[in-house]
A and B are shown apart, each in its own frame.
Chain A
Amino acid sequence: MISALWVMIGISLLLGTVLGYSALKFKVEGNPLAEKIDAVLPQTQCGQCGFPGCKPYAEAIAKGEVGINKCPPGGEEGIQKLADLLGVEFQPFGEGAAPKAKALAFIDEQTCIGCTLCIQACPVDAIVGAAKQMHTIISSECTGCELCLPPCPVDCISMNQVGEDIGSWKWQHPVIIPIKIAA
C-alpha cells in the first residue's frame, strides 16, 4: 500500500516536471489561432472593423470579443472562411457594412500640394512623395482601404474602381437555364 503510494507520487512528480519543463521550453510565441485568422483576413488594413489593422481584429476574434462579420473587404466568402475556421455559425453583414467593389486610390497630381498627410495615413506605405513635392500612389501596393481620403486637405484623392480587362477577366459560373415544362 505505502510502496504503491510512493510509486504514484514518484510518477506524478516526474510527469509534472516533464510537463512543466516542456511548457517553458516549447512555449509558443503569440496566439496561433489569431495568426490563422489573420491569414484569412484580406489585409487591406482599412480599419472598417473598428480595429487598427487586420491583426488586432484577428486577435480580438481569437479572444471572442467581436463578431466575424466586421470585415467588408473580405466579403461573405471571408465570413464563411472564418466561420469554417472557428466552427461557428455564418453571420451576415450588419447594417452599413456591405462589401464594396475593389477600388484603388488615385492622386490628382495637379491638385496635390505635397502635405504628406496621406503618406502618414497609408497603412502599407503605398504612397511616395515628400514635403512640398507631388505625391503618387503605387497602385500595385494599394489595398483600397480609403484611409488616405479623410486626411487630404485638398480632396485630391479619389477611389477608382478596378475595371476588368483581359488580364483580370475571369470565367463565370455557367448559367443553367431552367427548362419550362408546359403544365
Chain B
Amino acid sequence: MRTLFSFHGGVHPATHKAESTRTPITRAAIPSKLVIPLWQHVGNRSVPIVQVGDHVLKGQKIGRPEGKLSSAVHASTSGTVSAIDMQLVAHHSGLPDLCVTLIPDGKDEWVTHAGVDIAHTAPAELRHLLRKAGVVGLGGAVFPSDLKTDAHHHQMRTLVINGAECEPYITCDDMLMRERALDILHGAELLRELLQAEEVLIGIEDNKPEAIAAMQLAVTQAGYRKMEVLSVPTVYPSGGAKQLIRILTGIEVAAGVRSTEKGVQCFNVATAYSAWRALAHGEPLLSRIITVTGNVSHAQNFEVLIGTPLNELVALAGSQPDTTRHIMGGPMMGVDLPSGTVSVTKATNCIIASSPKLFPPPAPALPCIRCVRCADVCPADLQPQDLYWFAKSNNFGKAQEFNLADCIECGACAYVCPSNIPLVQYYRYAKSEIHARSVEKLAADKARERHDYRQFRIEREKTEKAQRLAQKERDAAAAKASFDANLAATENAQQQTINEAIERAKAQAVGTHALNTEALTPEQLAKIAAVDARRAKLHELAANAGADDEPPKS
C-alpha cells in the first residue's frame, strides 16, 4: 500500500454531490444556436477562419491557434455561421469577446475524421494533433494540453491523473469515471507515453466509491501495469493540481516552477479522455460533461456541445422561476455569470442555478480580527491575514514577498472567515494589479530601449553626415590643389618648350650665315648701301622727332 502525503489546511464544505449523480450522463439535444467563443483557453485568442454565411461540418476547425500558446476551436455541430462578433462570454469580467455564432442544421454531419496509429506516430506529431484538436485542460484551467505533454527534457517520474473533484456540487468527472473509465485510462496511458513517465497515479477522493471501483476495474481490464488508482481523503481543495501532486507524491511545486522540473505532471481525467478521443478517433474537443445542479428540478450531468447557451442547458434540467443567477464552476471558486444567455465553454464543468434561498447573499464584511483561521486552512501554507492587509493597502511589493503568487484562490480562507471578508477578491485584485504593473514595466523598458536606440541612431546619422561633409570638403580642396598643380606644370612645360626653341634658334643663329650675302655684285652692294643710308637717316629722324615736336616728313 502506497503511503499518501497530506497538504496543510483544507476545509470540509457540504459536498452536495448526490443530487446530480442519480442519473447517468445524458447527451444534451442540439440547441437552437451555438455561440462558440474563440478564446476558451489560456494564451492567445484563436483567429476565425470561417466567414459569415459559411456552411460548416461538425468537427470543422473554425478558429486556428495563434502563436505557440494557443489552441484551435471547432464547430460543435454542422450548420451555418450566422455571425462572428462580440458576445457576452462566461468570464469574471462580464465583458464581451469574439464569438462565432452557428445555427445548427440538425443533421449533425461530421467532417471526415479518423484516428491515428498512436504507437507508430512520432510524439511531436501527436502533440501537434492535440493542438489541432483543441484539447485543453478540462479541470478548469484550460491550458493547452500539447504544451503540457512536453516534458522539456526533464526526467518524468509520475503522471498524476486528477479525479479528485473536490469542489462541492460538481460531479462531471465522477460520472465520466463511472461511465467511461476505459477511455480515460487509454488517454492516461497515451499521456504517460508522451511524457515518458514511469508511473501513472490516479487520485480520486474517497467520497466517490463508484468511480474508484470503476477505474480500478478498468485498470485490471486494460492491463496497464504502471497505473494505480488511489483513494485520497475528502478535503477541499485536494483537487488542486499542486495539492493532489503533494498528496500523491509528496512533491511541492512552487509558483513559477513547472511541475515537470520536479518530474511530475498533472492532467484532469476529462482531459485524458478528450486526448484519447482526439488521437484515437480523430474527434476534436466538441463537447464536454457538465453538471447542471443547484436550483433545478432534476440535477444531472449532460454531455453538452461547446457553445450551447446556458439557459437552454439549464432548461433541460428543469429551471426554476426563482433562479436569480448562474454560477459556472463550484460555489468556492466559480464564476458569477453575467447573463443567462452566455454559452458554455471548454472551461465549464458545472452550472449551478442559484437562488437567494440556496446561496443567501453574504453577510456584510466586518474588520479582520486576526483570528488566523484562514492561515490554519490555507492549502498553500500562506498567511492570508497578512496578504489581505497588504492587498487592501495596495502594498503589492510586500504581498509578493509573502508569496501571493502561490495562492491558488481556492477560497478556503474566505469560507472560514468569521468576519465574512471576501479575501479571495482581495488576492485576485492584488494579483491582477501586480500583473498589470509587470506588463507596464515591460512596455516601459521596451519604450526606453527604443527611445535610446533612436537617440543613438540620430546621433550616428549626424556624425556620419558631418563626416561625409568633411570628406567632401577635403576632396574638393585636394581636387583644386591638384588642378592648380597641373596648370602650373602645363605652363612650365610650355615655357620650357619656348625657351628650348629660343635656345635652339640662338644656337642655329650662331652657327649659320645667309648664303645670299656672299658673292654680291657691285650694283647690289651699292643698292644695299643706299638702303642702309636711308634707314640710318630715318632712325636719326625718329630719334629727333621727340625733341622738336614736329612730325618727321618723309
Q: Tell whether A166 pairs with B432 under 8 Å between CB atoms, given A123-B451, A124-B447, A124-B450.
A: no
User: Are the C-beta atoms of B447 and A170 separated by less than 8 Å?
Assistant: no
Supposing A43-B448, A143-B447 touch, asked if A170 and B432 sit within 8 A by C-beta, the answer is yes
Check A169 for interface membership: any CB of B closer than 8 A. yes
B189 → A minimal CB distance (Å): 36
Q: Is A28 an interface residue (CB 8 A)?
A: no
| A44 located at the interface, meaning its Cβ lies under 8 Å from any Cβ of chain B in the complex | yes
Q: Identify which of B87-95, B121-129, B534-542 touches chain A.
A: B87-95
- CB-defined contacts of B450 to chain A, threshold 8 Å: 124-126, 141
Cβ-closest chain A residue relative to B423 = A174
**C-alpha gap A169/B448 in the complex (Å):** 25
B426 close to A (CB within 8 Å): yes
CA distance A179 to B365 in the complex (A): 9
B:29-53 near A, CB below 8 Å: 39, 45
The smallest beta-carbon distance between B67 and chain A, in angstroms, is 13
Contact A53 B429 (CB under 8 A): no
Q: Does any Cβ of A come within 8 Å of B444's Cβ?
A: yes
Q: Whole-angstrom distance between the alpha carbons of A165 and B38 in the complex?
A: 14
Contacts of A123 in B (CB 8 A): 451, 454
- Contact check, B444 vs A166: say whether CB atoms are below 8 A apart: no
Q: Which of A43, A124, A165, A179 contacts B364 (CB 8 A)?
A: A179
- Neighbouring A residues of B452 by C-beta, 8 Å: 55
Residue B433 at the A interface, CB < 8 A? yes
Residue of B nearest to A141 (CB): B450
Complex formed: what's the CA distance from A169 to B95 in Å?
A: 9
Interface string of B408-452 (1 = CB under 8 A from A): 000000000000001001101101110010001001111110111
Question: C-beta contact mask, A152-183 vs B, less than 8 Å → 1, else 0?
Answer: 00000000000011111111111011010000
Instruction: Given the known inter-chain contacts A124-B454, A171-B432, A176-B365, please indicate yes or no for A43 contacting B426, CB distance below 8 A.
Output: no
For A174, give its contact among B422, B436, B448 (CB under 8 Å).
Answer: B422
Picked from A54, A166, A173, A179, the residue with its CB within 8 Å of the CB of B97 is: A166
B95–A165 touching, CB < 8 Å: yes
Closest to A53 in B: B451
Complexed CA–CA distance, A41 and B444 (Å): 8
A38 within 8 A of B: yes
Query: What's the Cα separation between A42 and B443 when bound, in Å?
Result: 9
**Does A45 have its Cβ within 8 Å of any Cβ on chain B?**
yes
Q: Which residues of B, 429-482, contact A by the 8 Å Cβ criterion? A: 429, 431-433, 436, 440, 443-448, 450-455
A169-B95, A174-B425 known; A43-B454 Cβ under 8 A: no
Q: Is the CB of B444 within 8 A of A43?
A: yes
Q: When chains A and B are docked, how far (Å) is the Cα of A87 from the Cα of B223?
A: 70
CB contacts under 8 Å to A, within B156-189, are none
The secondary structure that dominates the B interface is helix
Task: State in angstroms the CA–CA spacing of A177 and B363 once bound together.
Answer: 11
Q: Which residues of B contact A124 (CB under 8 A)?
A: 447, 450-451, 454
Contact of B440 among A42, A55, A141, A177 (CB under 8 A): A42
A102 to chain B, nearest CB (A): 9
* Contact between chains at B448 and A38 (CB < 8 Å): yes
A88 to B388, CA, bound (A): 28
Expressed in whole angstroms, the Cα–Cα distance for A167 and B451 within the complex equals 27
Q: How far is the CB of A153 from chain B (nearest CB, A)?
A: 22
Chain A residues 24 to 69 lying within 8 A of chain B, measured CB to CB, are 38, 41-45, 53-55
Closest to B363 in A: A179
Alpha-carbon distance A168/B436, docked complex (angstroms): 8
Closest chain B CB from A145 CB (angstroms): 9
The residue among B93, B440, B452, B453 with the most chain A CB atoms within 10 A of its own CB is B93
CA distance A177 to B448 in the complex (A): 42
User: A43-B451, A53-B451, A124-B451 known; A169 and B93 CB under 8 Å?
Assistant: yes
Binary flags per residue of B362-406, CB closer than 8 Å to A gives 1, else 0: 001100000000000000000000000000101000000000000
CB distance from B239 to the nearest CB of A (A): 23
Q: In the complex, how many angstroms separate the beta carbon of B141 from the nearest chain A beta carbon?
A: 16
Q: Do B97 and A170 touch (CB < 8 A)?
A: no
In Å, the complex CA distance between A73 and B426 comes to 26
| Inter-chain contacts of B93 with A (CB < 8 A) | 164, 166, 169
Q: How far is the CB of B343 from chain A (nearest CB, A)?
A: 15
- How far, in whole Å, are A45 and B445 apart by their CA atoms in the complex? 12
- How far is B426's CA from A38's CA once the two chains are assembled, in angstroms? 31
Residue with the greatest number of chain B CB neighbours at <10 A, chosen from A38, A125, A141, A165: A165
Q: Are A171 and B425 within 8 A (Cβ)?
A: yes
In the complex formed, the residue of B with least CB distance to A38 is B448
Which residues of A from 52 to 111 have beta carbons under 8 Å from B?
53-55
- Assess whether A170 is in contact with B364, with CB atoms less than 8 Å apart: no
Alpha-carbon distance A125/B446, docked complex (angstroms): 11
Closest A residue to B86 by CB, please name it. Answer: A165
Additional pairs, 14, CB under 8 Å, beyond known A45-B451, A126-B450, A166-B95: A43-B451, A55-B452, A124-B451, A125-B453, A141-B447, A165-B95, A166-B93, A169-B92, A170-B432, A171-B429, A174-B365, A174-B422, A174-B425, A174-B426
**A-B CB proximity, top 4 nearest:** A169-B93, A43-B444, A43-B447, A124-B450
Can you list 28 contacts pairing A with B, beta carbon distance less than 8 Å? Answer: A38-B448, A41-B444, A42-B444, A43-B444, A43-B451, A45-B447, A53-B455, A54-B448, A54-B451, A125-B453, A141-B447, A165-B97, A166-B39, A166-B89, A166-B93, A169-B91, A169-B95, A170-B429, A170-B436, A171-B92, A171-B428, A171-B432, A171-B433, A173-B394, A173-B429, A174-B365, A174-B425, A179-B364
> What is B's interface to A at a CB cutoff of 8 Å?
39, 45, 89, 91-93, 95, 97, 364-365, 392, 394, 422, 425-426, 428-429, 431-433, 436, 440, 443-448, 450-455
